[in-house]
Amino acid sequence: MKKNMIQLKGLMGVLAGACLLAACASNPPAKEDNTDEIRARADAAQREISRETGEVVADDAPAAAASSGTAASAAEDDGIIVSTVNFKTRPTVLVAPAMGAKMAGSIDVIRRNPLAKTAMEVINAYLTSRDYTVIGLESQSQLDEVVQLQSDIAGNSEDLAYVAGLSVGADINITYAGSIQEDYIVIDLNASEASTANLLASESIRLKDNGESQRVLVQKAIQLAIKKLENKVRGRLAEEQEKGALYKVVAHLTGDFTDDQAEEISNMVSIKMRKKFNKMQVISMSRNTYDLLIYVDPNKYEDAQMVYGEFVESLEGLAKVRKQNITKKLIILEIQ
């Protein structure tokens, strides 16, 4: 057993650090929907996991649960009673190993480390069955450019690391890490809001190695952890959806404005935007930078470009608005 644990430690050692992964914000992912492909991979992974762990799951169980729009209400074999809260619309989730600022490193971990890939497959399979849209990690590209974008905005890539999740339209980011403590495997999961990086919930599972294969041990620990984590965040996500579709707006005043002009622009943004949208929350507003969260009616505003258009119209005659970068849920503006 000692040899087995040493091997497991070597393979799981890469799953440690802090969060987040996404596609290039300056070149956002194509709009084609790969949900079906991701769902098919998740379903196949779930069937394989069930065979290896001895669980009995119908082949079409994940797809049936996802298409029904409702959550299961019965207690599962492990005794966990899953949340029955329903979503107004399907939330999008980004799942990645906890790797720190270098985004591309997460994909390398998934491609080179079998246990890291197994962990992601288990999480993806469960979330897909629970009516989430899971962003395909391996399909994302040019990730380090997102880090540069973060640095350009904040001067510190870690301060706005969550910007990457917004670029691919994520509502929440889930990161995972693993470690070995004596004869136990410890799995840590974190769920955070993509828009603010606020921690929604965390879960840690400690599972004893009883001589099972490394892959099965990881599967069992991840399955328990993701069920408990999802139960904690589901209700909060449903509440957020009632406010409307969420966009993050970062605006910079780059023109040669007097203090009075800058004040007039900030007042105009604050007053007019609150009237146009369901809700506007000011994260921070300095003389030259506005950091805003905006909730909009999704039936009126189909995408970020339409939200951007409201800023252009509201400041017409007072200042010129130019888009620096627009992705699925992130809008970066220059006010000239």
Distance CA 34, CA 163 (A): 22
- What integer pLDDT is reported at residue 74 of this predicted model? 42
Same domain, yes or no: 124 and 208? yes
Residue 264 domain boundaries: 244-335
Distance CA 230, CA 291 (A): 29
Domain boundary (176, 208, 242) is at 242
Q: Can you give the pTM of this predicted structure? A: 0.72
Indicate which CATH number applies to the domain containing 285. Answer: 3.30.70
- What integer pLDDT is reported at residue 326 of this predicted model? 86
Same domain, yes or no: 256 and 327? yes
Same domain, yes or no: 217 and 250? no
Same domain, yes or no: 147 and 21? yes
- What integer pLDDT is reported at residue 272 of this predicted model? 87
Distance CA 82, CA 130 (A): 10
Distance CA 304, CA 330 (A): 7
Same domain, yes or no: 211 and 301? no
Which residues pair with residue 23 across a beta bridge?
A: none
Same domain, yes or no: 267 and 282? yes
Same domain, yes or no: 217 and 148? yes
- What integer pLDDT is reported at residue 58 of this predicted model? 37
- What integer pLDDT is reported at residue 204 of this predicted model? 95
Tokens of 265: 């622009």
- What integer pLDDT is reported at residue 63 of this predicted model? 38
Distance CA 14, CA 220 (A): 19
Same domain, yes or no: 189 and 283? no
Cα-flanking dihedrals φ and ψ of residue 166, to 5°?
Answer: -65, -35
Distance CA 159, CA 143 (A): 17
What is the full per-residue pLDDT of the chain (336 aa) written as tens digits?
Answer: 444 443 344 344 434 332 322 222 233 333 344 556 655 665 665 566 556 555 534 343 343 333 334 443 444 567 888 899 999 889 999 888 886 545 556 667 777 888 888 999 999 999 999 999 998 666 555 455 554 555 555 444 443 446 667 777 889 989 999 887 888 899 999 999 888 888 999 999 999 988 888 889 999 999 999 999 999 999 999 999 999 999 999 999 998 899 999 999 999 998 988 999 999 999 989 999 999 999 999 999 999 999 999 999 999 989 999 998 888 888 989 999
Q: How many domains does the chain have?
A: 2
Domain boundary (242, 260, 282) is at 242
Same domain, yes or no: 150 and 255? no
Same domain, yes or no: 324 and 288? yes
Domain boundary (212, 242, 272) is at 242
